[in-house]
Structure 1
């Protein structure tokens, strides 16, 4: 069996340690062999982006495939470009999303703009493990620089929302792009929607993100305070490759991804009833709001490609994750930070201030824990805690979710590192904390017993 390269979000590692030019060149040859046609390549703003772009492109061209270089783009902009062109057989996004600047990675995109399936990744891994012959000298591929893909993506978003309603609302927002891939596209989107933008970290400085790249409440304090100080209608903060974003109320309060998902689910269902898809890790807040709005919720395993493909299978009208990754099928089946901005602006323009909408949501308390756990112990840990969860309703869609009368706890192995994650939720804050601590202790004691 070929070595596994791809994690839940592509191939990632530290530059010149895990991600070397030699390794990426071979990966490019494998990708070119499997995709078997023209490949579009884009990147975020990381310092190492050019190195990886040249190496991956050289590999693709070495096996006779042509490369379109789209420059710096959000991941969903690359996905939109690939999806809308029948002559392109796939895409490669060079990004490590929210990881620190010394990391970078390769994410593969299928011909239809969705993230590559596990089967496609396995085919690339199989080729990667082989000696891949190059094409004859007169059949090597060529590279072409393509301009304008970002604006094309922005125009597509504008066409999918009620742009007139947004423009008439004359909104003002604070925008933090983490000096990442959306540094041009998101300001341009706001301009085309007549939204006054106060920007922060909107320069292409991948080695100096201005803040930790993951848009958590602790990491985006500058834009939280700026939104409040400027009396803006809302604030927006992206991750590095802008397939996700989080929002901020006019009084500078962080709006978690589960709340954004709930609000936009409710807004979507006000226009059309249907299915909403989200992972088992998402707050029960979303299910309560969806059901109250006349919709039906479907739960999947964790991972945006899994959510997207379930949406495609079921004809769902909306979906997303609790980390700010939202999927709009009218645009494309992938997480789309730009589309999330436009839809939230439309929601505010038509349904009222974000602050007021958030205040009407049910209150749940969610506690998250991460525990170091060797990969070869993950299966044993799952079996142990399932046996220790007597009296709960057990769901094994992803890891083990134990549902109680007053809340639930999800224990699942990380797909990207040797760790176990515990999510505990309840409408009672004390219960949420106590149950999180109980399961954390349970896992640690079991591991300690095993390794004595």
Structure 2
């Protein structure tokens, strides 16, 4: 069926995702799990899917518990008390999207075997329990309190003045409270949840954070921004400059002093240089980073998109925990000073369209071109070639007929050479 992507089930409401699918998902998960906690972000279609999931869970004989509107990491934290958790969200996507993320007790997303089993049960229609096997739904009102307490115990007090941009998402009632409880002086914007995201688009990209950057510059304060469901965190320094997820990954690796970590194949090689050895590379997607952290017992991981995972708490990306850790590790120092001390490597990105009917042939030709290069080849997600002085990554887009190219080097001269060589080989593969 191919329902699952790299971050659960997600699509356009009314086209890809509807109440009927929600009931089928609920029946499938309910047939595998006795107790399930369900949460949602503020999207307007959230109640539709929560009601559908709950109906399916009851029909399958499972016990559903409603956590209400909560951030995704809050729901993942609550899942520790149940067989699993279901989060209705489309994360950073526009408001017309929604979906379902599935969480294990340890905060990790359902893995490949689990999602395959859920898809199989959805296709079969799922379990239908008898009337005497059904349970009434119950409320689980303490999820936010528990999550905040968990972060307070993990991070401890932090005295800092910060600006928070909650993006009108699920973190609005949670993140400002958390940082004030930590001991911070908080200026919050876009803190009223609204599933239409009127304050700014849900994705906390540089292009979407103009208000936050202006406010940080005016007040001389660092800022933190979340996406719609709170699993991401990016920052803005005291001069109003955007600090990307890639830079934050490097900052965390440096300040935590980790000796190993996991990040996807498109993350900067500055991580390898900071850690002092080649890091564990995964497919693009936080669930794959989480799987690597679990299997190899690594202390930290994340993605350039702004997801950060701290296994000492659980295996779910947590934007609020990441923000709290960031302020704690800065230890009173200006964010701009710490970020400026990190090396910056120039990078280049490009994309190439191709005929969708030629997808298989394009993939074969790309494999030939990349494997013939004199470098270390990694094929966990596309073709990444480490060349010593730089690297390149060629991947087929998962959403459109395009080849994505990323290149990075320690200086501009080497980058230009690597990028042009990579472009030439991609063009050759495309014929």
Q: Same fold (TM over 0.5)?
A: yes
Deviation at 1:42, TM superposition (A): 0.5
Q: Deviations over 1:312-335 (max 9, x none)?
A: 222212111111111111111121
Aligned counterparts of 1:444 and 1:60: Cα–Cα separation in 2: 50
Aligned counterparts of 1:116 and 1:46: Cα–Cα separation in 2: 23
User: Could you say which residue in structure 2 is the equivalent of 1:384?
Assistant: 365
Say whether 1:73 aligns with 2:70. yes
Say whether 1:412 aligns with 2:400. no
Following superposition of structure 1 onto structure 2, how do residues 437-452 of structure 1 map, counting pairs within 5 Å?
A: 439=422, 442-443=425-426, 446-447=429-430, 449=431
Following superposition of structure 1 onto structure 2, how do residues 257-272 of structure 1 map, counting pairs within 5 Å?
A: 257-269=245-257
Deviation at 1:275, TM superposition (A): 2.1
Aligned counterparts of 2:356 and 2:54: Cα–Cα separation in 1: 33
Following superposition of structure 1 onto structure 2, how do residues 153-168 of structure 1 map, counting pairs within 5 Å?
A: 153-163=147-157, 166-167=158-159
Q: Is the 8 A contact 2:106 2:314 kept in 1?
A: no
Which of 369, 386, 389 is equivalent to 1:403? 386
Q: Deviations over 1:134-157 (max 9, x none)?
A: 222232232112212112101100
Aligned counterparts of 2:103 and 2:357: Cα–Cα separation in 1: 30
Say whether 1:140 aligns with 2:129. no
Q: Is the 8 A contact 1:378 1:420 kept in 2?
A: no
Following superposition of structure 1 onto structure 2, how do residues 320-339 of structure 1 map, counting pairs within 5 Å?
A: 320-339=302-321
Aligned counterparts of 2:54 and 2:384: Cα–Cα separation in 1: 43
The change in CA–CA distance for 1:138 and 1:419 in structure 2 (over 3 A counts) is farther
The change in CA–CA distance for 1:32 and 1:399 in structure 2 (over 3 A counts) is same
Aligned counterparts of 1:7 and 1:358: Cα–Cα separation in 2: 33
Which of 24, 27, 30 is equivalent to 1:29? 27
For normalisation by structure 1, the TM-score amounts to: 0.89
Deviation at 1:379, TM superposition (A): 4.5
Q: Is the 8 A contact 2:28 2:127 kept in 1?
A: no
Deviation at 1:307, TM superposition (A): 1.4
Following superposition of structure 1 onto structure 2, how do residues 47-446 of structure 1 map, counting pairs within 5 Å?
A: 47-83=44-80, 85=81, 88-163=82-157, 166-167=158-159, 171-232=160-221, 234-269=222-257, 274-291=259-276, 297-349=279-331, 352-372=333-353, 377-389=358-370, 390-393=372-375, 394-429=377-412, 431-432=414-415, 435-436=418-419, 439=422, 442-443=425-426, 446=429
Uncovered stretches (5+) of structure 1, i.e. residues with no partner: none
Q: Is the 8 A contact 2:22 2:49 kept in 1?
A: yes
Deviation at 1:222, TM superposition (A): 1.3
Q: Deviations over 1:21-54 (max 9, x none)?
A: 11221121112112x2111000111111011111
Q: Is the 8 A contact 1:258 1:285 kept in 2?
A: no
Q: Is the 8 A contact 1:190 1:197 kept in 2?
A: yes
Aligned counterparts of 1:231 and 1:129: Cα–Cα separation in 2: 55
Deviation at 1:370, TM superposition (A): 4.0
Aligned counterparts of 1:301 and 1:332: Cα–Cα separation in 2: 20
Q: Deviations over 1:113-160 (max 9, x none)?
A: 210011010001001111345222232232112212112101100110
Q: Is the 8 A contact 2:94 2:201 kept in 1?
A: yes
**SS class of match (1:346):** helix
For normalisation by structure 2, the TM-score amounts to: 0.93
219-228 vs 134-143, greater mean Cα deviation: 134-143
User: Could you say which residue in structure 2 is the equivalent of 1:15?
Assistant: 13
